Amino acid sequence: MTTTAAKTDPMKQLDTLAEHYVAEIASLLRDRDALNRHQLLTPARDHALRSRTARLVQKLHGVDRARGRIKPGKGLAPDPDAWITDLVQETA
């Protein structure tokens, strides 16, 4: 596959997007853990980190749904939440 084809391949774009979201989620979880460990996690910081993480998980869920629509002959994943959990655990 040429470089131009890779840029226009929807599955490749979804894979790249999913990797980006998983890396951001893992980073937020590490930040929250570090703040908590050093007793610097205020309720406002905790809320902000949890909200950002939840938004990213929703976006990642959307990528999973899009992957299910693009794959020929396959429907949506039976449990998209399990897929998200597996991806986050792989990066931790």
pLDDT at 15: 87
**Which of 81, 77, 60 is closest to 17 using CA atoms?**
60
pLDDT at 84: 57
Contact predicate 56/24, CB 8 Å: yes
User: In angstroms, how far apart are the furthest CA atoms of the chain?
Assistant: 50
pLDDT at 63: 86
pLDDT at 26: 92
Task: Quote the number of domains for the chain.
Answer: 1
pLDDT at 72: 47
**Which of 55, 49, 61 is closest to 87 using CA atoms?**
61
In a domain, 92, yes or no: yes
Consecutive 10-residue runs of the chain (92 residues): their mean pLDDT?
A: 60 88 93 93 93 90 75 48 58 56
pLDDT at 9: 77
In a domain, 60, yes or no: yes
Instruction: Give residue 62's domain range.
Output: 22-33+43-92
Which residues touch 12 (CB under 8 Å, ≥6 apart)? Answer: 6
